[in-house]
Amino acid sequence: MAKPPLRLFLSVALAITAIFAVSPAQADAPWLKVRNKEAHGGAIMQTAVPGAVVAYQVQARKFSIWYVAGPKNGRIAIYLNGAKHRVVDQWAPSRESRAIVLKGSRPVNSVMVVSLGTKRPKSKGTLVNVDAISPRADRCSKGCLRTPEPSLMLTSLSELAADPVWFPAAVPTPDQAVFNVAIGSYVRGQDVLPLDANGPVIREAMCAQARRVPQGVMILSFGKQVEGGSSGFGIALTDADIANTTATVASGLADCASGPWEVAIGTSNSGGATPFNGYDGGVRWAQIVEQARAISDPRVIISGANDLEPSWGPVDQAKAWVSGFIATSGRRLWNFGSADGCPQSIGSVRCNNGWTIDDVLWVSSTASANIVVVPQIHTRSGSQARQWAVIAARGLELGSPLRIAGVGAQPSACLQVRGGCPTTGNDAWTAWSQLRLALDSIPATAGTAIGPPRDIRWSWR
């Protein structure tokens, strides 16, 4: 499969021809045509939706993007020919027309304008806009296209990428490329900081993985959530560290991938009830996901994840975190946790620490259509597979089916610890087969689709 192209194009001579019929008048469009007396054409293309994208293709090597700055404006990111070019703050104390000069390397240059949903403290909002495209930076005159209608309008950059989730019908043979599985990481602060030094190592490891694995979803687990970031398993990582590490991983994958990839930014509910892993923690984690998306290669989907385990914390705290995340973000949320103490046969509903299978189901599916689960199937005995099969059956009973987008195993991590994992060291496809067997043993869940297995390791190697 070829590397997914960025189909962003509009043609300017400087005249523009739309390739995709997207009307700015659509009520649900992320960008709308809004009247503005400071605009060159009397109207601007405007949005306040974080991550919203408009795209153009300009037949000129040097040109300007005009916008109307103002006191309620936020920041945009500009991508030139698929690469992030610069961030522009559109704030001004009063409304005025401004231009951004761009120099492309081609006769026809693709341009994306992305709403970041961020602003300086003194701004009263996060509105951003596009006013005109001009061959000159000093004025919009001959050849200037006013209120340019975009070729492509998206709610997020991730819509440019194909979905990396697939559903194998059976275990592939070792000679098939899809037999190789995505390997995520427990991300320690010591393996990240300083990022200037460790960035090349991370990119190299991601490139090697993308060449070996055709497509996949990689979960990065940054440890429990703490004030200002995550624990980093010993050396704390800030929100910015998490976002920058994610962007580095995405860069390495995108540069070498032959198919689609997704990077899920993960934390956990470990540490009991704290001010950082309830509702406010979910909100904050969703904001970190958006920060990472804004600076990551658009060919890679960025999403959120949480290792939710009943034994690690109160159920109300975990539910509050999920509520905060889904109230803030429309991105995919992966539960890559376990079902501690839940029943292995239909009958009981009780799990560890006051949780029930309905609670596990809620944080894994019921709370939002954007939640998917990659259940931990670590135990060689098959106990975890049987637990999740019971939860899947309960989901069908309640009209809230599990979306099993993957299966979690940890053989790589087990190779890194002394003595290995005698009871919890399933290899990836053994874990998948265990869950397949457990689901098929219950008539209601027989044939349930399961995404591919995923491995995890410490650090990058």
The domain spans of the chain are 10-157, 161-458
The radius of gyration of the chain from alpha carbons, rounded to an integer in Å, stands at 24
CATH topology match: 10-157 vs 161-458:
no
**Which pLDDT does position 29 carry in this prediction?**
67
**Among candidate residues 112, 135, 184, 227, the one with its CA nearest the CA of residue 336:** 184
**Which pLDDT does position 405 carry in this prediction?**
95
Low-confidence ranges of the chain (pLDDT < 70): 1-29, 151, 158-160
DSSP assignment of 179-199: GS--EEEE--GGGTSSHHHHH
**Which pLDDT does position 15 carry in this prediction?**
31
- pLDDT digit string, tens, across residues 171-214: 999 999 999 999 999 999 999 999 999 999 999 999 999 999 98
Q: CA-CA distance, 458 to 184, in Å (whole number)?
A: 9
Q: CA-CA distance, 24 to 226, in Å (whole number)?
A: 42
Pick among 3.40.50.720, 3.30.70.20, 2.40.50.140, 2.60.120.260: CATH of 10-157: 2.60.120.260
**Which pLDDT does position 396 carry in this prediction?**
94
**Which pLDDT does position 109 carry in this prediction?**
79
The domain made up of 161-458 has a fold known as TIM Barrel (3.20.20)
**Which pLDDT does position 260 carry in this prediction?**
92
Non-local (6+) Cβ contacts of 216 within 8 A are 164, 181, 182, 261, 262, 452, 454
**Which pLDDT does position 61 carry in this prediction?**
85
Q: CA-CA distance, 33 to 46, in Å (whole number)?
A: 6
